[in-house]
């Protein structure tokens, strides 16, 4: 009887260890699997360069999807595709009293190296590839009237921009996260004009 109890106890202990190891292996496997999500937030956009004298920022938004691909336990590559409203406020007021806007809207594709400092907190940085989808001067932002297409009026806006992006993200165990990021254009917005995009972003999202 004592031998039976001893064998039973040993079997239970071995089973518990096996289950624990299996759960740990599954957890590690999950942590190394690709994950995907959605994100969005607010943009505070302006431009920098010798040909522009610190214009006011345009407040707009960004929204899109991303995929995160783990390379190691604390390092991954994150690729995003975001619609991003950029540009700046012009230096005179429109007819409704609001500042007129130069609207430069892009599809941004950042490719970021992501390092986890501690569990749930990461920093990320990398190149960003941007494709212009809208370029307008809007002298009446509060209505549908007042939009002037820049390219149709002799402004040689560039359809592609190369830049860099960097920021940090805090994520909960449920997959919800908040992020702050700064994007700086490297190439010019307008051909032969020293002007580059500069955007600060605050956002939230969910990773599946």
- Residue 87 pairs in a beta bridge with 103
pLDDT tens-digit series, residues 56-112: 899 999 999 999 999 999 999 999 999 999 999 876 655 555 677 889 999 999 999
pLDDT value at residue 155: 78
pLDDT value at residue 183: 98
pLDDT value at residue 24: 45
pLDDT value at residue 55: 84
Return d(Cα 85, Cα 61) in angstroms, integer.
Answer: 6
Question: Coil, strand, or helix at residue 22?
Answer: helix
Return d(Cα 157, Cα 133) in angstroms, integer.
Answer: 11
Give the residue with greater pLDDT, 147 vs 119.
119
pLDDT tens-digit series, residues 12-70: 444 444 444 444 444 444 578 999 999 999 999 999 988 776 788 999 999 999 999 99
Q: Is 189 exposed, middle or buried (0-12, 13-18, 19+ CB in 10 A)?
A: buried
pLDDT tens-digit series, residues 135-189: 988 766 655 655 677 766 667 899 999 999 999 999 999 999 999 999 999 999 9
pLDDT value at residue 201: 99
Nearest Cα neighbor of 103 from 162, 163, 60, 155 is 60
């Amino acid at each position: 009887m004592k031998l039976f109890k001893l064998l039973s106890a040993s079997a239970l202990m071995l089973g518990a260890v096996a289950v624990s190891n299996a759960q740990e292996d599954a957890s590690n496997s999950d942590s190394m699997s690709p994950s995907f999500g959605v994100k969005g937030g607010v943009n505070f956009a302006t431009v920098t360069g010798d040909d522009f004298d610190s214009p006011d920022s345009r407040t707009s938004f960004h929204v899109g999807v991303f995929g995160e691909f783990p390379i190691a336990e604390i390092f991954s590559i994150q690729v995003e595709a975001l619609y991003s409203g950029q540009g700046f406020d012009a230096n005179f007021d429109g007819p409704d009293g609001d500042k007129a806007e130069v609207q430069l809207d892009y599809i941004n594709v950042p490719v970021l190296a992501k390092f986890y400092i501690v569990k749930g907190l990461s920093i990320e940085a990398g190149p960003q590839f941007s494709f212009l989808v809208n370029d307008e001067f809007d002298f009446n932002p509060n209505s549908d009237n007042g939009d002037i297409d820049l390219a149709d009026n002799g402004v040689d806006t560039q359809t592609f921009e190369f830049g860099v992006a960097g920021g940090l993200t805090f994520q909960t165990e449920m997959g919800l996260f908040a992020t702050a990021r700064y994007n700086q254009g490297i190439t010019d917005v307008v051909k032969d004009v020293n002007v580059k995009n500069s955007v600060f972003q605050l956002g939230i999202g969910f990773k599946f």
